[in-house]
């Protein structure tokens, strides 16, 4: 015995008539029925197809693209997508957040968009000649400061009581 087992045909480990471990001698494809446990370093140098539920108990590092074909990815716990300022995460569909979203210093929570940095402001800026369009009633609880011209194309009501002053 020279520490090598040469098999010039299909190789199978069976329980009765059921192949529990099978290696095709032409393609090298391997089929394992049951649990595969890999202790230590494991390399996958090609495509990994997962056809059912998979649990990962540690860190998954992906150095290239990940594609989900007609499937979904459910992640529980803290998740980091990208770790450098040059990393880009692209979502080409609907981003559905069932909670709040913190993006830089902006928090979106329910119907509230708020700044999270100390004394922070929220700037909404149109691009180029674009405008900010508010297509419904606007309630202002604080001051309205205008740095330019106020154009009112309709009725204007200033004050709502005899004690109101306009200066």
Q: Which two tokens stand for residue 37?
A: 């446990």
Q: Tell me the pTM.
A: 0.52
> Which strands make up the sheet holding 30-32, listed edge to edge?
11-15, 18-23, 30-32
Per-residue pLDDT of the chain (167 residues; tens, 9 = 90+): 677 877 788 888 888 888 888 888 888 888 888 888 888 888 878 777 777 777 777 777 777 777 777 767 777 777 777 777 788 888 888 888 888 999 999 999 999 999 999 999 999 999 999 999 999 988 888 888 888 888 888 888 887 777 887 77
Q: Which two tokens stand for residue 60?
A: 């998954």
Tally helices (H) and strands (E) across the chain. 0, 6
């Amino acid at each position: 015995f020279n520490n090598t087992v040469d098999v010039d045909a299909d190789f199978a480990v069976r329980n009765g008539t059921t192949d529990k471990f099978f290696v095709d001698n032409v393609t090298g494809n391997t089929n394992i029925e049951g649990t595969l446990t890999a202790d230590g370093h494991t390399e996958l140098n090609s495509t990994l197809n997962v056809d059912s539920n998979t649990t990962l108990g540690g860190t998954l590092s992906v150095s290239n693209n990940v594609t989900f074909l007609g499937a979904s990815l459910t992640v529980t716990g803290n998740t980091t997508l990208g770790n450098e300022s040059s990393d880009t995460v692209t979502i080409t569909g609907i981003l559905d957040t069932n909670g709040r979203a913190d993006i830089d210093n902006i928090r979106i929570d329910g119907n509230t968009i708020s700044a999270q940095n100390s004394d922070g402001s929220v700037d909404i800026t149109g691009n180029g000649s674009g405008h900010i369009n508010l297509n419904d009633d606007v309630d202002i609880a604080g001051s309205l400061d205008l740095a330019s011209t106020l154009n009112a194309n309709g009725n204007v009501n200033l004050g709502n009581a005899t004690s109101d002053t306009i200066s």
